[in-house]
């Protein structure tokens, strides 16, 4: 409660405790990934979305336990072995999560970015949309990338005597400081 009141006036009681002792530890320890990280990697947690992985693990655990209990009831008919169902279900879940997770990871689409670098515009066709491009006087052009996104660039002709009126299709050749050097698509 005191911390909340202190925050209202722009202070923090916890920061007072932090400032009491000035301790900074600089280490150069050679730390490798340990057992839990390796186990989670083996279980394909780094290859699947968390929710998909969690559903796979819990479904495998539930099915492993149900199948084990069904086998115990139908074959042995001895209820004493039910305590063993949890470890059996856990082992079944871990193994099936590893193998099924690897298969699902191959099918599930990965995160892909539609971001396009301006360096990838060279060689692309653009259309003059605003103004008349001449040497030293850039005009606005639009190009559409592979993801159907519009990009507006400033364009100047390659040759000093050339002009590009509105609606002209041009090929972007080289990036200058604030515009692109372009050549007419139709010579």
Sign of CA dihedral 11, 12, 13, 18: negative
Domain ranges of the chain: 35-107, 121-184
What is the tens place of the pLDDT at every residue in 78-106?
A: 777 778 889 999 999 999 999 999 999 99
pTM for this model (two decimals): 0.47
Per DSSP, the three-state class of 76 is: helix
Q: How far apart are CA 162 and CA 171, in angstroms?
A: 14
User: Which fold is adopted by the domain 121-184?
Assistant: OB fold (Dihydrolipoamide Acetyltransferase, E2P) (2.40.50)
Give yes or no for residue 23 having a pLDDT over 80: no
Q: How far apart are CA 153 and CA 117, in angstroms?
A: 13
């Amino acid at each position: 409660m005191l911390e909340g009141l202190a925050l209202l006036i722009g202070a923090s009681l916890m920061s007072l405790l932090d400032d009491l002792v000035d301790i900074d530890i600089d280490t150069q320890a050679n730390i490798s990934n340990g057992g839990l990280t390796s186990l989670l990697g083996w279980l394909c947690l780094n290859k699947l979305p968390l929710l998909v992985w969690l559903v796979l693990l819990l479904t495998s655990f539930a099915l492993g336990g149900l199948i084990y209990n069904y086998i115990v009831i139908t074959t042995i008919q001895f209820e004493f072995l039910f305590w063993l169902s949890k470890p059996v279900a856990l082992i079944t879940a871990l193994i099936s999560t590893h193998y099924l997770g690897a298969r699902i990871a191959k099918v599930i689409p990965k995160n892909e970015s539609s971001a396009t670098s301006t360096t990838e515009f060279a060689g692309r066709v653009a259309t003059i949309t605003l103004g008349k491009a001449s040497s030293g006087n850039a005009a606005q052009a639009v190009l559409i990338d592979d993801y159907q996104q519009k990009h507006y660039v400033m364009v100047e002709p390659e040759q000093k005597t050339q002009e590009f009126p509105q609606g002209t299709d041009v090929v972007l050749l080289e990036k200058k400081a604030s515009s692109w050097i372009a050549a007419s698509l139709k010579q």
